[in-house]
Structure 1
Amino acid sequence: MEIVWWLLATLASSVLAIWFVVYPRIINDATWYGFFSERMYLYAFPPFFAAAAFYSMREASRAFGLLWADWFAQATIGVTGLLMILGLLAALGMPVPPILTPKWVRERRKQDREERRRRREAKKAGASDG
């Protein structure tokens, strides 16, 4: 029965990891844009579910009696662990390379910056007139 649970965990976490990488890149807008959940969806969830997928794959193979080579297990869990740390830092506000952000998010952020700039300039113009 343990094998079934590990296989289900592998399937679910693999699908979720792929979903959180692909979905934000194929949509044009999302209700979670501009909130903390935006950074969670873009940067924290994909590496977390990838790490969960690799861990559950390792445990499922162990339940079948197949052992991963130690170097391979350490490399996969280590890399996904590092990605989880970087994803958490990005979710907390650390700048990330543009390649990791979907195009529509970059364009929307650019529009938001331009809008804030226009409001600041209008405010300065209004203050200098009065």
Structure 2
Amino acid sequence: MTTPPPPGQNPYRHPAAPVPARRWSVRRVLKGVVSVVVVGVVAYGGYTTWFGGAATADAGDCLHAGNATATAVISVGDPEFEIVDCGTPEAQFKVTGRASGTDGTCDDQYQRYTQGGAGRDFTLCLEPLK
């Protein structure tokens, strides 16, 4: 007669072979690098959309509207403003005043731009440069 195995051990089970270490392939490294770059681009785009452009503009700054509808009538569409140097041809508007909240008023010769949401409501008074 044979002696039974100790409790918790299966006499019919073979020990598992060690798993070979994964080798770093060029393809895996490239996929990782591309993933990091894509995440970085998306994060940068989100940051500049929420915290850049009109959201950070102050009196004296010049703005460029990134879409066509904003250049003709500022109240149409959702202009994608970016702060530019006032001496460049890209400068379309000069910020003449900034007020908290979306109910700010501007003098008649200026265009009024408001942005609201996420607790950062503001009004800009803009002078067209062109």
TM-score, length of structure 2 as denominator length = 0.32
Bigger share in strand: 2
Q: Higher RCO, 1 or 2 (CA under 8 Å, sep at least 6)?
A: 1
Structure in which a larger fraction of residues adopt helix? 1
Give the structure with higher Rg (CA). 2
